[in-house]
Structure 1
Amino acid sequence: MSDKPTSGAKEAVAVKSLLVVEDDLDIGEFIVHAIQQETRYQAFLVVDAFKALNTIRQHKPDMFLLDYQLPGMDGLELYNLLHTTEGLENTPVLFMSANFSEKELDKLRLPYIEKPFELEDLLREIEQIIGA
């Protein structure tokens, strides 16, 4: 008996993942569901920056989708912490918010999408950032 896989076996393909940090549970669940249904990516939801920091201990995502206005620590502070974490220094981010400082994000050259946004626009931005 051979230990080789059968010719019909498919090789496992690594699926890219996104960590969605959104304090509005309804919006966050909608985004995660849409990403998983409409793209080839896996998405995980946490509702605040501190849960995001705990989550990255077990799972390092390929991209962050961060709400700018989060309780306790805003999205920019979280971004700065994440990008000083070993292994996450070059992980891309997309900010989303109805109220944020465009000037600050533009100065840092960070991509963002304004709420409310069209789902197709969000998915297109995600694909442009990590689809390569």
Structure 2
Amino acid sequence: SFLSIAIGQETPYKAVVVTDGHQALETVTHVLVDLLLLDYTLPTMNGIELYDQLHAMPGLEATPAIIFTASLVKHQDVIEQRKIIGLGKPIELDELLSTIERLIA
């Protein structure tokens, strides 16, 4: 995906891309994760539901997260309650990269 390529080229980090929440839950059982990049709109569950399930897993309780949504204002309260960074769509690459650096550098 565009984001994983950009992250790989512009940062020292590697992005692991999954297509739905269930695949994400499976992937984190065998991949060390430093940051969660979540889309609010996912096929099997929304990004907030996925975030809640991931943060309930041992070792991921304090993992920072960024969530993308086209309806940032609509979901702002839920995002802020969980201390997730919310970024609007379309995604501004410079804003994303600086946010990644701030959260995990």
TM-score, scaled to structure 2:
0.92
**Length, aligned pairs only:** 103
SS at match of 1:65: strand
Q: Which has the higher strand share?
A: 1
Divergent runs of 4+, >6 A: none
Query: Over aligned residue pairs, what C-alpha RMSD do you find?
Result: 1.1
User: Is the radius of gyration larger for structure 1 or structure 2?
Assistant: 1
Once structures 1 and 2 are overlaid, which stretch shifts more, 55-64 or 106-115?
Answer: 106-115
Instruction: Give deviations 1:17-67, integer Å, cap 9, x for gaps.
Output: xxxxxxxxxxxx000000000001011100110000110111121110000
Once structures 1 and 2 are overlaid, which stretch shifts more, 68-77 or 30-39?
Answer: 68-77
Tell me whether 1:80 sits opposite 2:52 in the alignment: yes
Which residue of 2 is the match for residue 108 of structure 1? 82
TM-score, scaled to structure 1:
0.74
Unaligned runs of 5+ in 2: none
Among 19, 23, 42, which residue is 1:51 paired with? Answer: 23
Unaligned runs of 5+ in 1: 1-28
Between the aligned residues of both structures, percent identity stands at: 41
Among 78, 94, 98, which residue is 1:120 paired with? Answer: 94
- Name the amino acid aligned to 1:42: K
Q: Which has the higher helix share?
A: 2
**In structure 2, distance between residues paired with 1:87 and 1:103:** 26
